[in-house]
Structure 1
Amino acid sequence: MKLGKITAFALTTALGTTSVFAAGDEDRTGWPESFTVGTASQGGTYFAYGSGWANLVADELGITGGGEVTGGPMQNMALVHTGEAQFGMTTMGPAAESLAGTNPIAPGLQMTNACAMFPMYQTPFSVTALASSGIESIADIPDGARIGFGPAGSTSDTYFPRMMEELGVKFERRNGGWSDLGGQLQDGLLDVIAFAAGVPVPAVSQLEVQTDVNIIEFTEEEQAKIMEAFPVSAFEIKADTYTTLEAPARSVSMWNFTIANCDLPESFVYAVVDTVMSDNERMQGIHRAAASTLPENWDKNKVMMWHPGAAKWFVENAGADIPADKIFSK
């Protein structure tokens, strides 16, 4: 099943390695010659974060691999389930829908061959408008506002329109890549962009360099209403995330996990997890959102079965208590 993959494959080859797994002493039986990581559109956190750790793993393990532009979490679940991509990235909401067979890409298909690999970070839901618009709160968004929600089928597009409806906002829905929507906001073609992405969102950071923006927080009442209706948690966007912010911004968030095709060799996935999780400072050099890519956050997976190689790493290195019935087996 081809899912319209966009050719933006950031391939790398190993020039030198420092990882124990690169020494070639471990059993590499069944390891693929190359791998892909399904990310999302360019200009978003998934693409920067995913391409970064893909290149890191390729360098450390001495195999070819890279990040690929996709439609985001829903498509990544499908790509990994079918094996068209070895790895991907998803949020817990789309993962749950995919496992239940309600992924809009393939309705009725329970995507149970996509397994949890390692925790990434929380995805905050944030709203941005031009300062010149006068929109400073959710209540200020006028009826019929043109709102860009990100790529069709993304976490943002799946949940943010529902959240806006829950808060009584009436809008015209627009979709597109993060960078494209940021450009449309700057050009006056959109009134608001509502992004669910790890912060700082590159497209928003670029916007505030070029023009004055308002990063709009939820009120306490709005935050509570959304948390009651959707699988999200309270979150604060730190003031130093964007130059525009003078104080933390109240938001909500959803956890992100990387996923692996469940049929990949245990030793391969163990080596990938070890490479990513063993040096958080190096991961933060890829993207600041990786500050939450920590072993102790293994327990944030409440939805997916664990890949055996990933489960083994977290049990051995993070003291994880993962029940046997939560680990994938044939």
Structure 2
Amino acid sequence: MKFLAILASCTVLSAGAAFAESHVDKSDWPTSFTVGTASQGGTYFAYGSGWANLVAKELGITGGGEVTGGPMQNMALVHTGEAAFGMTTMGPAAESLAGTNPIAPGLEMNKACAMFPMYQTPFSVTALSSSGIKSVADIPAGAKIGFGPAGSTSDTYFPRMMETLGVDFERRNGGWTDLGGQLQDGLLDVIAFAAGVPVPAVSQLEVQTDVNIIEFTDEEQAKLLEAFPVSEFSIKASTYTTLKEDATSVSMWNFSIANCDLPASFVKEVVNVVMSDNERMVGIHKAAGSTLPENWDKNKVLKWHPGAAEWFKENAGADIPADMIYGG
């Protein structure tokens, strides 16, 4: 009897779910979609293609990831509707809204709306222990600092951050592995990373030599939080063998974006597929460990898509002001 009661209950729940789904008006839904990611081999491509395939399977429509130039281009593609969805960081998002996206200078890309939080890109600073540089204040005037590949998020924002903190430097660019080698050879004084941690180049340096992982002071962190679209971040001591305790830093959040004119019911269902099962998302990419409903508040730049805002209000208790919702 108990088994029959449980079976009956499950049948009612299943019928209820099917009934609810059948009453979602899909008449204005697109028949296919693309997600703007970045180059193959990077986190964006793996993460974006993964959730695109998941959504396509769950909602029964055609969809997939598309190779792009990354956050700046994704803002442009989603704004124009060439891509239904995309992925961006808060910095490029802010620049695109202000009309300073280098892809289309002067165009305010306000048709790209926030959809759901993805994960953080931390900013971290490393120097050789032999340099004596243990803090940002220790960086000497005219120091040669490697900021990563030209045009990257790191190269776009870290130099400005250093200037905000009063550091005088010479700018150097290159791949992270190459910059790590230059630091070890004494050709650079500091390398400044905006990348997921642990940064492989830093981990490799730890094996080969003694390094200092430089954290920001509370005052320095506060200055950066005020001046840039970044959030508080703590690099866990377990991240590097060099660290003895957590290190204070900042990070720039990555958010999935949707064209603001997409049907609210469609975007709400997409968000539900991604946000309702984090274990499934982590199976797609470990970075999705931060793809959690409570991180909705990390968006302080983009207006929310109405469908996404509705989902987070209903499922995460999100207190999203009306003026931060597109059309509100």
Cα-to-partner distance string for 1:27-72 (whole Å, 9 max, x where unaligned): 27442434133246855x54554344344434544534125352x4
Give the aligned partner of residue 237 of structure 1: 235
Q: Which amino acid aligns with 1:66?
A: G
Give the drift of 1:158.
2.6
Does the 8 A contact of 1:200 with 1:289 survive in 2? Answer: no
When residues 213 and 162 of structure 1 are mapped into structure 2, their CA distance, relative to the original with a 3 A threshold, is same
Give the aligned partner of residue 38 of structure 1: 37
Give the drift of 1:203.
5.4
Specify which of 132, 135, 138 is matched with residue 137 of structure 1: 135
Give the aligned partner of residue 320 of structure 1: 318
When residues 269 and 135 of structure 1 are mapped into structure 2, their CA distance, relative to the original with a 3 A threshold, is same
Q: Which amino acid aligns with 1:158?
A: T
Q: Which amino acid aligns with 2:36?
A: V
When residues 242 and 285 of structure 1 are mapped into structure 2, their CA distance, relative to the original with a 3 A threshold, is farther
Does the 8 A contact of 2:33 with 2:85 survive in 1? Answer: no
Distance 1:210 1:292 in 2: 31
List runs of 5+ in structure 2 lacking aligned partners: 1-16
Does the 8 A contact of 1:73 with 1:91 survive in 2? Answer: yes
Give the aligned partner of residue 266 of structure 2: 268
Distance 2:209 2:28 in 1: 53
Q: Which amino acid aligns with 1:104?
A: P
Give the drift of 1:140.
4.2
When residues 225 and 317 of structure 1 are mapped into structure 2, their CA distance, relative to the original with a 3 A threshold, is closer
Specify which of 161, 176, 198 is matched with residue 181 of structure 1: 176
Larger Rg over CA atoms: 2
Give the aligned partner of residue 15 of structure 1: none
Where 1:120 maps in the other structure, the secondary structure is strand
1:1-330 equivalence runs, <5 A? 27=26, 29-39=28-38, 42=41, 45-62=43-60, 63-66=62-65, 68-70=67-69, 72-130=70-128, 135-176=133-174, 180-187=175-182, 188=185, 190-201=188-199, 204=202, 213-329=211-327
Give the aligned partner of residue 8 of structure 2: none
Distance 2:105 2:132 in 1: 41
Cα-to-partner distance string for 1:159-186 (whole Å, 9 max, x where unaligned): 210111122323232345xxx2233322
Give the drift of 1:147.
2.8
Give the drift of 1:121.
3.1
Does the 8 A contact of 1:42 with 1:69 survive in 2? Answer: no
List runs of 5+ in structure 1 lacking aligned partners: 1-19
Distance 1:186 1:35 in 2: 38
Does the 8 A contact of 2:90 with 2:230 survive in 1? Answer: no
Give the drift of 1:280.
1.7
Q: Which amino acid aligns with 2:155?
A: D
TM-score between the two structures when normalised by the length of structure 1? 0.76
Matched residue count: 304
Give the drift of 1:329.
4.0
When residues 221 and 34 of structure 1 are mapped into structure 2, their CA distance, relative to the original with a 3 A threshold, is closer
Where 2:91 maps in the other structure, the secondary structure is helix
Instruction: Note the aligned Cα RMSD (angstroms).
Output: 3.4
Distance 2:49 2:199 in 1: 15
Does the 8 A contact of 2:179 with 2:191 survive in 1? Answer: no
| More moved, 26-35 vs 260-269 | 26-35
Distance 1:144 1:290 in 2: 39
Q: Which amino acid aligns with 1:65?
A: G
Distance 2:324 2:179 in 1: 44
Q: Which amino acid aligns with 1:36?
A: V
Give the aligned partner of residue 13 of structure 1: none
Distance 1:135 1:256 in 2: 30
Cα-to-partner distance string for 1:6-32 (whole Å, 9 max, x where unaligned): xxxxxxxxxxxxxx99xx966274424
When residues 48 and 126 of structure 1 are mapped into structure 2, their CA distance, relative to the original with a 3 A threshold, is farther
What fraction of aligned residue pairs are identical, expressed as a percent? 75
- Structure number with higher helix proportion: 2
Distance 2:268 2:208 in 1: 43
Give the aligned partner of residue 14 of structure 1: none
